[in-house]
Amino acid sequence: MTKTNVIIDMPVKIAIASGKGGTGKTTVSVNLFHFIRQLWTNRVALVDCDVEEPNDLIFFPGAKLVDEKDATLPVPEIITDKCTFCRRCVEYCEFNAIVVIPPVKFAEINPSLCHSCGACLVACRDDAIVEKPYSIGKIRKYAVDEQAGIVEGLLKIGSAMQTSLIKIVKKEPVHDAEVILYDAPPGTSCPVVTTTADANYIILVTEPTPFGLHDLKLTVSLLKELEKPFGVIVNKAGLGNREIYKYLEEENIELIGEIPFDKTYASGYARGELLSFIPKEMETVYRKIVTELKEKVIDYA
Ligand code: SF4
Ligand code: SF4
């Protein structure tokens, strides 16, 4: 299998993704954060981009909240006194976010459908639309210690602005981090593309089952299209079958680690105690992965 070396500037950005949920992406993200602090640098940030259900923080009960703010997008509002109910804005809006009913002089924009594209502002010739900040969720920052931190985005219930929130969360400054880990949402759609867009390297977490293989193939074809360097971690190794290894071999995809299935460890996850007891075998695997990841990075900054 080919090993990929990546030449990059600081900070090193590593995204952890998986085609489907339940493969152990959170477990891998949290452990990488833990072992990078031990073996590489303490200037590390873990950014939870799974904004519909962020859960990395659960495993750091001692983390202190240091900042919390609204994540906002500019959303237009119609000034009905100025509106002539011409419906030009309705025709311009690709997201069906505007309702204008001329006979009853009704004009309104649904902020939860609006994608802040600004087209309606261009469309309106009567100066009847203004933009106002609209909250799509929260950004929270936590300190794990003086240098390492966690950032999470939390999408407002009912909001469809997952991708926009991920963009905002990723822009959030993370002190002087040398390594930034992005824990991506599951799937292969826009939110994953946004999370991985500027990553120097992507780790795909999968499991050796037919479902795991199916979703891995989808994610691999997405990353190949994006021309991103990536490698695979097989979680729950020892369960399922060998098909996934055959596929990696055939496609010349780098296997960067195999995390053995451990029942005690899995129940530690369920209790939010992932980092309290790490079995020796598991520790050895993560140490090897982090050491190899570090070697991949040739810093010429
Ligand atoms: S900003 Fe774009 S999406 Fe939002 S209401 Fe206007 S046209 Fe529709
Ligand atoms: S384009 Fe302007 S004036 Fe026309 S319906 Fe929309 S807000 Fe009203």
Instruction: Kindly state if the Cβ of 92 falls inside 6 Å of ligand 2.
Output: no
Instruction: Kindly state if the Cβ of 181 falls inside 6 Å of ligand 2.
Output: no
d(CA 155, CA 165): 7
- The residue ranges of DSSP E strands in 149-301, in sequence order, are 149-155, 179-183, 201-206, 230-237, 255-260, 297-299
Nearest CA to ligand 1 atom 6: 120
Question: Is residue 1 situated within a structural domain?
Answer: no
d(CA 184, CA 186): 6
Using the 3D structure, point to which of 110, 135, 160 is the last residue of a domain. 135
Under DSSP, the state recorded for 9 is P
Instruction: Kindly state if the Cβ of 98 falls inside 6 Å of ligand 1.
Output: yes
Mean pLDDT value across residues 89-101: 96
d(CA 292, CA 1): 14
Is there a single domain that holds both residue 35 and residue 159? yes
Please state the domain count of the chain. Answer: 2
Question: Is residue 150 situated within a structural domain?
Answer: yes
**Ligand nearest 92 Cα, by number?**
1
**What does the pLDDT look like over 6-43, one tens digit per residue?**
545 678 999 999 877 777 889 899 999 999 999 989 89
The pairing of strands 106-109 and 98-101 is antiparallel
Token digits of residue 71: 């994540």
Is there a single domain that holds both residue 12 and residue 45? yes
Is there a single domain that holds both residue 229 and residue 107? no
Using the 3D structure, point to which of 135, 152, 171 is the last residue of a domain. 135
Q: What is the pTM of this model?
A: 0.85
Is there a single domain that holds both residue 162 and residue 294? yes
H-only helix segments in 67-129: 88-92, 119-123
According to the model, what pLDDT value does residue 296 have? 77
Question: Is residue 67 situated within a structural domain?
Answer: no
CATH number for the domain that contains residue 249: 3.40.50.300
Question: Is residue 243 situated within a structural domain?
Answer: yes
Using the 3D structure, point to which of 91, 114, 135 is the last residue of a domain. 135
Provide the pLDDT confidence category of residue 292 given band limits of 50, 70 and 90. Answer: confident
CATH number for the domain that contains residue 112: 3.30.70.20
**Distance from the Cα of residue 103 to its chain's centroid:** 45
**Ligand nearest 75 Cα, by number?**
1
The number of the ligand 2 atom at minimal distance from the alpha carbon of 126 is 3
Q: Which domain holds residue 80?
A: 72-135
